[in-house]
Structure 1
């Protein structure tokens, strides 16, 4: 350019001259681990620079597969946009630094050898931009080498299993005759060459793209992106001429699921039905089903129509619950992005859901064991929701059976559920309806064929023992959910959950002991208030805690000395899981404001865990003059270690850090 104009974009070029002897540089995706050319701009205020525009690279054989390279004298363009308020007649100076790597036959070196190449250009500002005629040919040739998106094509990318499909709409030429290749912009996509994977889908063209999951050099995982971009290069088979079309960054979508044939769908349907039947034997579900079958025992000899009504109500509860859960699952599946796998039991990823389910199983177990009653008969799993005839109780039991089936279904029914989740809408909901019918089938059969009820044992004292036995299965389910929950909130917070469950158990005991009809109104009122207080306190204790902002390293004397030599302050917490005071300190001493203060002062946190015997920690405690934990020590370079009191709070920690640890110097 001889001059530029306010607000009018112009183009600058970086031209590389490779040494002779096979040296080459690389495209922005080198195909391996080599470095691509990089340009950094220092521009006057208000100026902006576009990303580097890349010419079509060559596909060459590298040490670890295909590489995308440049030889000769490639030219890279950048568009600069000046602000609209530039003063006419003024001058502006643009500065840039550039580095690139060149390689040949396994040898690579950075260019320039002495460091980044520096460029500077000063241009006058005029009313209209003026091109430098001497450079016009260079820019014309460079623009011809840079691929552009097609104005007629519509491009989309679909994820199909582990592969990707590039879909091209509006293509008027026969691409099968063009020996089409795709050069990817991102390393997680493999090169597609010479028409491999190209198919016709009606008026569209599909190009299958393979994912690269492992780095061929270091064998580590390659991050998977959410977009696909690159260059499609087609070669004319007659004259050998090539044409390149840029594929702009395109978000990866999901390919619509294709309906299965009846022969392939029926096995999935049968698997889901069988899976529902199997769930009746799971420890999560059997207590609910078992107690409802006890309802049949009690109703033996009663109106058969009412028994059928119970069976239909239970089935309706199961069906509606399954449809609701599978509807949410289908919506999440549709909204999920590439690489986001949604499966049955997905709701267990939410700690609040796991907590509520755990408390529900625990409370129901306490009720079945006799700590308190939530209904007037053994069939009252629906509690207050049960009417005189118990139909709404049966409906609620169907809902409960579905909710508690979730933790059990994933490990036992993975294959069938995994196949069903990928189905199109009609087959998807049909498959989960089959699973719901399988879960409710035993109860439904007993209600429709009343003679089978006569085969059940007669009511008796055994029923109370059976009910209490079912409680232990619910406690086992609550224990499993506790394990899941602690994994989500981290082991350090488990003590709160144990105390919370204890408070809930006390609430249930108070309710069952004193909130009974033969107690006085005053006693029942006091019992109800205490029940609510203990239950609410237990829920608060067990609730998911805020994620800690502190990051702790494992303690070692050598690491402490290394950090102090580097001028970094260190805070060491000698603790153990069995140390109650230690656990209290963790809750009181490190709120967000203390964590922020530690971060601002550059304190490195270390934890010495004495849960199991540790001679190194014992020796260190003896050196510090302490024989028992908790022991917390603040080390500041150039100062004596500060040993804190045993019991800590946030106020003490703020004062200690502010007083002892200086702010780091700004570099």
Structure 2
């Protein structure tokens, strides 16, 4: 055999030896004992036609293996989910249980070891049909080595989930998902300190006290948090600081998500990346999760009471006066039942609103305070009811609205007056909800971020607050004697009340014209006008009917003309203010350039917005400032707008009016109260316009 052949044989033997070694190493390399299941739970129905089903991705790993959270930390990658093969599925939302920290020298990763279940909220397209869930998941798992594991799972979601399912196990894991509130755990303050080094400072209260707290930060790809450092623990209170990296690279209006974990307890809060102030109690309670449910209920009670004095209630003030004064001692010697019935109607109206909002939220629809005024299906019936109220108070017909409705409901008992007061309270509350009030926004924001039971509880408390004057009168009926006795003067009161009802109907007609067009509003106005004239002709002598027509026709023509007048976008009563459209990216760019921006969001159905605009924004001092060195931005939420709704939600707001001022001194914005004064606006503009002085320049 030649040397050449001997060399070839040696090379071949070497390759075979290396292959054998590689095979042995591969065979000995640890592999994850991955076991995944797709579990199915209950199906929650909604009256709107949609339904939400619960499912769970159950992941079991071998001992010593872990997978990753939605933010993996310094290494690794989050799970990837592909639901594209599913049927009758509109959307799948993954809920993330609280993670733990894995530390290897200076590298920290976040995730789960050995076993985790991801609860899945499955939004169905058709509640009456079964659904099929198809999942292609990519999981990154690590031990001594890291590997990528792919799995494909399928599960059927029946139309009726009566058979046994895994909902109990899914609910058990849902308890470990951080929420805005937690039993025995709250975040009392949250801020970002930029000097001397950027860090997040968190203050929390816990009962029992925290043992080994940890903090995880995500929400911005540019920002990451270091290891939490506990600086103080005493009497259930703890202060934690977390170093921040990449804060300067974060975009404006981005929000950090902060998750505090201590064993099996966890809580979550958010704050803007440019926040540099302590979260204020009350104003940001829902944002930080600091407020307990009892605090929110107290806020809701106070807000509901204040709602009685807001401009939104002025259009229905006549209904309140009539319900308070028009009491017949011969029919009911004590006014207490009438007061209690009115209070019950107010609370029932809030409860109804809570039920509707809960159903819409479960269906994935846009929810907010006063949004029913964006819907013609609500406006048209309310216009008809108000017109009927006004015509009845003018004596055009004898059916006592709304007492005839109550009579249908309680004809057997004959207590039409009491039931009528209930309907009165119900209707006047619906008309009083287009605008927010101090403390109402905080309570509503908290409620709409929670589940249906919390929404119902908070809204019922708002109703009790608004019904407080009637409950007080029911508790002390002698106070009713302070009102003057019925007499001929009540005819004038009825006339004033009738004009108020008709004026409210005209206002809603203009809102309807903004939403559905002038043709719809004109046709409805003409129909109501003709009906009123016919009733007047049948009820009164010809001369009085013609006199009424002479008054009603100009009013109707003025209304029709008003519905044809449309205000150009971006133009207010003061042409000196150059209003710009709402574009969040443009606002952020202007603030980065050192400009001050004033944002005003209103709607034609928001009475408080109109009051603020007329007496504050259009006042000489504010108008002059907005027309000089401030960029004025305005948005109209008369009709539904997902962009405006999303912008409001970024401030944890769900209703109007809404005003915020940005500037070099307030890059995250100064949110103004619902009721404005010129001084409040000017002070906010001055604060936002002040360029912050560097720390080393301060004396």
TM range (shorter): 0.3 to 0.5
TM-score normalised to the size of structure 2? 0.39
TM-score normalised to the size of structure 1? 0.41
Name which one, 1 or 2, has greater alpha-carbon Rg. 1
